[in-house]
Structure formats: structure tokens, C-alpha cells
Structure 1
Amino acid sequence: MVRHKRYGYLGVVVDSDPHCRAPDSWYSRNQTQPDRQQPWYHVLVDGSETATYAAQTSLEEAERAMPIEHPLLDVFFTDFDGEAYVRNQRAWPSTWE
């Protein structure tokens, strides 16, 4: 479970990239431009149908783990064990290719 430092939303990480793989056009439209040469995470946002792409420096561990509401949870996770979501083997779609 993570919380976005600037926007405050809670979410669960579903996939990661070792560096930002988004195209320059996407990156330049962001309100912030965190360093591209750090891990970036695909995050399912609690209480929405949104998945965001956030830099490691933009996220922090949530104070406590709790179930979230997102329509894709059952697609990518098998269970919530009380502390974390248990990821299945289904691959996250290739967003930037």
C-alpha cells in the first residue's frame, strides 16, 4: 500500500519499471517531472477506476494497510492478507510500447 506524497491518494502497486518508460510527450504534460532515472510504479488508485504511473520519490508507504476499492483488483491480485495484496502472475499490459 502506498500514498502519493503530493496528491494524497492511496493505492496498491501492480507493476514497476526500473526507470520512466513513458514517452516525452506524456512526461512533459505532467504537473511535476520527477527524475526519470528512478523506479516508476503503476498504481491502482483507491476508490476510482484509475491506474497512475508515479515515480518512487512521489510515493511513500501507507501508514497502515487496508483493503482498497478498484475494479482491477481481482484481475491482478488473489487476496488481501491483512497487510498486503497478494499478486498473481497476470502481466500488467505494456503501456508505453
Structure 2
Amino acid sequence: MNFRPLHDRVVIRRIESKERTPGGILIPDTAKEKPQEGEVVAVGPGARGEAGKIHPLDVTAGDRILFGKWSGTEVRIDGIEYLIMKESDLLGVLETSCH
């Protein structure tokens, strides 16, 4: 992908939900909701503060994140669907447990 987001924007690839429920029922494509979980693909340099200093973003490429149902703008780059949104639209980062 040859795309670099500006300012405090991030590029996200949705992580598709499972095709079956925990009980084993197959979910057809027409009944599925778009997932609200994704992977950060690229991040901008950060937001510029009042003093003119750039504040880097808290997320980095590769982070798994959650976002709101109606967040972001859908775009297609090189035939792949992505979401572009501001970092403030992200709900949080999914941490991997080390148990």
C-alpha cells in the first residue's frame, strides 16, 4: 500500500468476524454486521498542538483496535477496503494476554 495518512489519522483494515456462532450455527453474509475490530495498517505523524509541536499517536501499525460502529470513512486502495479515521475515534487497543 502506498498511502500515508496525514495528521492524527489512522488507516485500519477490518478483521472479519467468524462465520459461525459459538453454538456452531452458520451466519450468512447478509445477516452479518461489519466488524468493529481492526488492525492498524498505517498512522499519520500526529496532531499539532497549540504551540505548534507535533504530538505522536498512541497507536502503531500492527495494533489490534476497536472502533465505533459508524466510525471512519471507507476507502478502497489497490482493491482492498480500508477505514480511515482520526485516532480520537478509536475506542481502545486490544492487548494480548501473556497467560
Range into which the TM-score falls when normalised by the shorter chain: 0.3 to 0.5
Structure with the largest fraction of helix: 1
Structure with the largest fraction of strand: 2
Greater Rg over alpha carbons, structure: 2
User: TM-score scaled to structure 2, two decimals?
Assistant: 0.33
User: TM-score scaled to structure 1, two decimals?
Assistant: 0.33
